[in-house]
Amino acid sequence: MPKDWKKEVARDLIALGSIPFYLIVIIRAIIGEHAIFVYQMLIALIVLTGLGFVVKADVYVARSFVICVFTSLFYNHSLFTIFAFILWVLLLVSAYCMDVKRNVIIKGIILGIVSSGIAYYLVALIPAY
């Protein structure tokens, strides 16, 4: 075990909001032919990226929120939702412990909520998924 295992675990948790992890989730959904989920994730990423240029927020927190919400909706199972939510809360704690400012984390949460909400409602407008 490394000397500073807490920092390593914190970095690992924060990586759940990274672009490579986000893309892994999308590609897996494409392979499984889950169009609605793919559209939700892509729309949220586009909105999140666009708003991320305007608002100084923790985009790792925002992306991880999107992943947590849409994978929970996709699997529609309480055990998975609880697990995903616990991981997301631990990610928030990790971001704070890694000296990310509280207001930047809060803006990341808001950015994730807004991006998820927009994506959720815009997908309904896509004809014949």
**Could you tell me the residue ranges of all domains in the chain?**
5-123
Q: Are 90 and 6 in contact, with CB atoms under 8 Å apart?
A: no
Q: Which mean pLDDT values do the consecutive 10-residue runs of the chain (129 residues) have? A: 78 93 94 92 96 93 97 96 96 92 95 97 83
* Of the candidates 16, 47, 24, the residue with the CA atom closest to the CA atom of residue 112: 47
Q: At 124, which amino acid appears? A: A
Q: Are 78 and 11 in contact, with CB atoms under 8 Å apart?
A: no
Angle (nearest 5°) at CA 97 between 82 and 114: 55
Predicted local confidence at residue 2, as pLDDT: 58
Predicted local confidence at residue 5, as pLDDT: 83
Using CA atoms, how far apart are residues 45 and 124, in angstroms rounded to an integer? Answer: 17
